[in-house]
Amino acid sequence: MINIKSFWYAITGLAHALYIERNLKIHFVALATVCILAGITHCNSIEWSILILCFAVVIGLETMNTAVEKSCDMTTTYYSTEIKVIKDVAAGAVFFASVCSAIIGAIILLPKILELI
């Protein structure tokens, strides 16, 4: 049976992360920009699917990075090189996914944009 409360908790968590995390806001602005460009350039369903998959990976990793950072912050109030590594690795995953997604977006959208010019 579907638990509606679980959906509510997930939506609330995403909204909270969007409210408090500057980088997540930046990712959502990029998402909106790409959606507008994809609409203007008439991307097909496969191109849209690839772009949506990129959105899901980047936003998913960014929210997980937020959870990792908050969890680490709760475990200690002093500087820890181990926690620094954990946070840096989580941030690195977001960075890698973001760069790959930007490249994929450019591969899909740049030729279409250049055709419009």
Q: What is the pLDDT of residue 112?
A: 96
* pLDDT score of 2: 77
62 catalytic, yes or no?
yes
DSSP letter string, 45-107:
HHHHHHHHHHHHHHHHHHHHHHHHHHHHHHH-SS--HHHHHHHHHHHHHHHHHHHHHHHHHHH
Average pLDDT along the chain:
95
Contact call for residues 55 and 31 (beta carbons, < 8 A): yes
Which pTM value belongs to this model?
A: 0.90
Amino acid at 63: T
**What is the dotted CATH code of the domain comprising 4-116?**
1.10.287.3610
Q: Are 32 and 55 in contact (CB under 8 A)?
A: no
62-71 per-position pLDDT tens digit: 999 999 999 9
Give residue 3's pLDDT.
83
The one catalytic residue among 62, 69, 82, 115: 62
Q: Kindly state the average pLDDT of the residues 89-96.
A: 98
| pLDDT (mean) for 87-113 | 98
For the chain, the structural domain boundaries read 4-116
Three-state DSSP state, 117: coil
